[in-house]
A and B are shown apart, each in its own frame.
Chain A
Amino acid sequence: MQTSASAPADDRLLPRIGQWLSTTNLVVPAILVAWFAIVIVPIIILFVYSFFSTAQFRTVYEPSLDTWIGLFESGRWEVTLRTLRIAVTVTLIELVGAFPFALWLAKGGVSKGGRAVCLALLTIPFFLDMSSRTIVWRAILGQSGLVNTVLMGTGLTDAPVEWLLYSEVAVHFGMVVSLFPPMVLPIYMAINLIDDSLIEASKDLGASPWQTLRRVILPLSLPGVMAGVVFCLGPALAAWVEPGMLGGGFVNLISNSIESAYSALRYPVVAALSAFVILLLLVLLAAMYLIARRFGDPASSFRVLRG
């Protein structure tokens, strides 16, 4: 009884709230202010902190360039370049592998059951602990691991292949495995939303499959590609488990370096390293945006999601 009485009231209330929000121009400024307070301000504080120094485990609040000079003099800044190089490489590998897979899954005539199984296999890893998923590779890739046992058992190699574990190859491999779902799922969603009639029309107008891919599917899937790149690049830049467990200490990335500085309570070094990565990331995203513009309009391509 009560629900039937309150339902019409709710029906009236929601449109009224929507109407009020659209007439007052408060929403966008409110979100911007909140964003500024919880995201931008901490980054500014981080940047300011990088101009302090540490003495006997305590931060010395006197502006100086010591931390930044130390960062470059000791060669520590190289860790940021290495991290970027590995993160970008992993992201590109993911993109090359994920796009065809997503295309096949969305438009390749896969049955509903097959699609459900694939999506389940892609999402299940999210529910498992990253360390547990990564550490099993050590038993597989180690000197006395499964791969080396098979290689030596079949006579393909005489001695264990050492670079399978505790190397950059192993770190790349571990990251590619763990970051495949964040890349493939947004691309799959975007391609899945493309109206089949658009692809049919392209074909009817005489376009080759390559032309359809390049001029129809690729531009319309850009939002998914961009999202996939961001979802993949972000965690790759912050990767900590894979370099720690599969790199064997030989692949020192930004997170490892920050953790080490943190253990000595060197907050200004942590801040400088983080600030440096943010600056490099801004440059990278700007470059990515310019490249994406060549294929379409990344900003307006979100319109496809309305379909």
Chain B
Amino acid sequence: MKDRFSTYSQAELTRRNLLLGMSALAGTAAMGGFPGRAAAQDLPLVKAYGVPTAALKDWAPMEKSIGVRCELSGASNDVGVFMRDVMGANMGDTADIFIFESGTEDILGPQGLYATLDEAHPELTLWERTSDDWKRSAVVQDRDGKQWGVPVIGNADSFGYFPEKVGIAPDSTEELSWSLMFEDEATRGRVAYGNAYTYSMGPAALYLQGKGAAQFGNIADLTAEEAKLVADFLIERKKAGQFRTLYGAFEEQIQLLTNKEVDVINCWEPAVREANLVLGPDATRYAYTKEGYFKWGHGAYIAAQAVDRGNLDAIYKVLNYFLSGEYRALQARDRGYAGPNMDLGVEYAQSSGWTAEEIEALKATEAKVAKKFAKPYVSTTTPDNAGAMEEEWQRFMNA
């Protein structure tokens, strides 16, 4: 999700950490350079372009494990970026892999800008054991089921809430209904709702489908009629006073929770963590839901031009590394996001002597992700019906 007032997107949330890491690296360099850096320069190089969340704080463990160097140039997650850079500026001439949020493969794959994934490539050793929830998701396949990439990271977004306000025990893992967001009398006038159609229209459709009020072909890509149905429902709820505010930024999510301005908010999971730092542990919780989640993920895709550049083995080694336990464990620990093969991450942590607390946190993430990812729906940044959805969303905004 991208927002308007925020200085960073969800995908870039950890950029601050990345910068901190870079500062530390710069400091190390100033103190006398990096041991082994010279050796790393001799390793085969894979150039990546995309959202920087996929980057490790330090690529050294990867270089040590697979003997390949990765250089990632950061880009924003905006739909305009890949339209402009990948299509217009032929980024594939220089980049070997692209890492974007789900949706690019639907346009750039069929147009020949991505190479299809060779699932039988000898370097892709972890592909077979990767669960279908991840590898066959719409993040890395196009609408015809063609495989364009490997999953890198992801999460399932729901809503944050105050357990005491909605009458639920703070440590409960009960699955709640999105009705708390849209129709519950107890929360009427105490709900904050994200004001971007890409982020908020889907959960409303999910709720309508869950309660049997409507059936949708693809919640992530609503047709004009479906979008109208959702907008009509939202307009009715807006007029009934369900929403206290329609927010636009990540900072607002945190502020609305910490100020206790609302009881329920569809938001990013880190907002709940940030609010609890101020309000105390478990003051707010991130919901497990009955109907499903706004599931988002980043995939890594091979540039079509890279196929003939002679470093395909190195590219597949990097893609395979994204599926590995080492990458999973480091990403989960340093950035807090999940991904495929979380069990391998736990195994890696155990064999690498991580603390019991760190291992427990990884196990909890694994269990949480397994529970959430079994439910619909996978979001996309590029719905075919974006125009109709945006138009209907504006009708809701103007109502």
Which of B107, B193, B261, B387 is within 8 Å of A142, CB to CB? B261
Q: Does B195 contact A (CB under 8 A)?
A: yes
Which of A82, A142, A256, A263 contacts B390 (CB under 8 A)?
Answer: A263
With the chains together, A166 CA to B389 CA distance in Å? 25
By a CB distance below 8 angstroms, the chain B residues around A166 are 244-245
Residue of B nearest to A73 (CB): B391
B4 touches A244 (CB 8 A): yes
State A257–B395 Cα separation when bound (angstroms): 10
Chain A minimum-CB-distance residue to B393: A260
**Alpha-carbon separation in the docked complex, A266 to B385 (Å):** 12
Q: Which residues of B contact A54 (CB under 8 A)?
A: 387
Contact present for A248 and B245 (CB under 8 Å)? yes
- Residues A105-130 near B (CB distance < 8 A): none
Write out the residue numbers on chain A whose beta carbons fall within 8 Å of the beta carbon of B247. 248-249
Inter-chain contact A57/B390, CB cutoff 8 Å: no
CB of A64 closer than 8 Å to a CB of B: no
Question: How many A residues have CB within 8 A of the partner chain?
Answer: 36
- B395 and A74 contact, CB distance less than 8 A: yes
CB of B260 within 8 A of chain A? Answer: yes
A249 to B265, CA, bound (A): 14
Interface string of B351-392 (1 = CB under 8 A from A): 000000000000000000000000000000010101101111
Interface string of B226-254 (1 = CB under 8 A from A): 00000000000000000111111000000
Complex Cα distance, B382 from A265, in Å, reads 10
- Give every chain B residue within 8 A of A244 (Cβ-Cβ): 4-5, 248
- Closest CB-CB distance, A22 to chain B, in whole Å? 48
Q: Which of B2, B198, B384 contacts A56 (CB 8 A)?
A: B384
* Cα separation A192 to B318 with both chains bound (whole Å): 70
Please state if B197 and A144 are interface contacts (CB–CB under 8 Å).
no
**B80 A76 Cβ-Cβ under 8 A:** no
Q: Within A254-296, which residues are at the interface with B (CB < 8 Å)?
A: 256-257, 259-261, 263-266
Contacts of B393 in A (CB 8 A): 260
Q: Does B205 have its Cβ within 8 Å of any Cβ on chain A?
A: no
Docked CA distance A58–B397 (Å): 24
Contact (Cβ within 8 A) B244 A138: no
- The minimal Cβ–Cβ distance linking A137 to chain B, given in whole angstroms, is 12
Judge whether B65 is part of the interface by a CB distance below 8 angstroms. no
Given A75-B398, A252-B398, verify A263-B196 contact (CB < 8 Å): yes
Q: Is A143 an interface residue, CB under 8 A from the partner?
A: yes
> Closest CB of chain A to B84's CB: distance in Å?
10
- Determine which of A74, A162, A248 lies in contact with B394 in the assembled complex, contact meaning CB atoms within 8 Å: A74
From residue 50 to 109 of chain A, which have CB atoms closer than 8 A to chain B?
54-58, 70, 74-76, 78-79, 82
A139 within 8 A of partner (CB): yes
From 4 to 39 in chain A, residues with beta carbon under 8 angstroms from any chain B beta carbon are: none
Identity of the chain A residue whose Cβ is nearest the Cβ of B384 in the assembled complex: A56
Knowing A75-B398, A78-B398, A265-B80 touch, does A56 contact B390 (C-beta < 8 A)? no
Interface residues contributed by chain B, number (CB under 8 Å) = 36
Cβ of B22 within 8 Å of any chain A Cβ, yes or no, is no
Q: How close is B387's CB to chain A, nearest CB, in angstroms?
A: 6
Q: Nearest residue in B to A248 (C-beta to C-beta)?
A: B245
Q: Is the CB of B259 within 8 A of A142?
A: yes
**Smallest CB–CB gap between A285 and chain B, Å?**
26
A131 located at the interface, meaning its Cβ lies under 8 Å from any Cβ of chain B in the complex? yes
Q: Which residues of A contact B255 (CB under 8 A)?
A: 138
Q: Quote the shortest CB–CB distance from A114 to chain B (angstroms).
A: 37
**Shortest Cβ distance from A28 into chain B, in angstroms?**
40
Q: Mark A232-254, 1 if CB is under 8 A from B, else 0.
A: 00000000010011001110100
- In Å, the complex CA distance between A70 and B390 comes to 12
A264 to B196, CA, bound (A): 11
Question: How many angstroms from the CA of A252 to the CA of B261 in the assembled complex?
Answer: 21
In the assembled complex, which residues on chain B have CB atoms less than 8 Å from the CB atom of A261? Answer: 390, 394
Check A76/B394 contact, CB under 8 A, given A249-B245, A263-B79: yes
Q: Are A265 and B83 also in contact (CB < 8 A) when A54-B387, A166-B245, A260-B394 are?
A: yes
What residues of chain A lie closer than 8 Å to B243, measured between beta carbons?
249
Q: How far is the CB of A293 from chain B (nearest CB, A)?
A: 36
Given contacts A144-B260, A248-B247, contact A131 B391 (CB under 8 A): no
Q: Check if B386 sits within 8 Å of A264, measured CB to CB.
A: yes
> Is the pair A131, B5 in contact by a Cβ cutoff of 8 Å?
yes
Does B248 lie within 8 Å of A249, measured CB to CB? yes
Interface residue from A56, A57, A252, A264 paired with B397 (Cβ < 8 Å): A252
CA distance A82 to B83 in the complex (A): 33
Q: Are B398 and A79 in contact (CB under 8 A)?
A: yes
Chain B residues in 8 Å Cβ range of A70: 391
Cα distance, A26 to B224, chains bound together (Å) = 56
The residue in B255, B261, B382 that gathers the most chain A C-beta atoms within 10 A of its C-beta is B261
Q: Does B79 lie within 8 Å of A249, measured CB to CB?
A: no
B394 touches A257 (CB 8 A): yes
Whether A245 and B107, one on each chain, are in contact in the complex, defined by CB atoms closer than 8 angstroms, is: no
* Chain A residues with CB under 8 A of B395: 74-76
Contacts of A249 in B (CB 8 A): 193, 195, 243, 245-248, 397
List 30 A–B pairs whose Cβ atoms lie within 8 Å, in order of A's numbering: A54-B387, A55-B387, A56-B107, A56-B386, A57-B79, A57-B83, A58-B83, A76-B394, A76-B395, A144-B259, A144-B261, A162-B189, A166-B245, A241-B5, A244-B248, A248-B244, A248-B245, A249-B193, A249-B243, A249-B246, A252-B394, A256-B397, A257-B394, A257-B397, A260-B397, A263-B198, A264-B386, A264-B387, A265-B80, A266-B386
The list of the 10 closest CB pairs from A to B, nearest first, reads: A249-B246, A248-B245, A264-B390, A252-B397, A264-B386, A249-B195, A166-B245, A74-B391, A252-B398, A76-B394
State the B residues within 8 Å of A (CB). 2, 4-5, 79-80, 83, 107, 189, 193, 195-198, 243-248, 255, 259-261, 382, 384, 386-387, 389-395, 397-398
> Which A residues lie at the B interface, using CB under 8 A?
54-58, 70, 74-76, 78-79, 82, 131, 138-139, 142-144, 162, 166, 241, 244-245, 248-250, 252, 256-257, 259-261, 263-266
Q: Told that A57-B79, A76-B398, A257-B398 touch, could you supply 15 new A-B pairs with CB distance under 8 A?
A: A70-B391, A78-B398, A138-B259, A142-B261, A162-B189, A248-B246, A248-B247, A249-B247, A250-B245, A257-B397, A260-B197, A261-B394, A264-B387, A264-B389, A266-B390
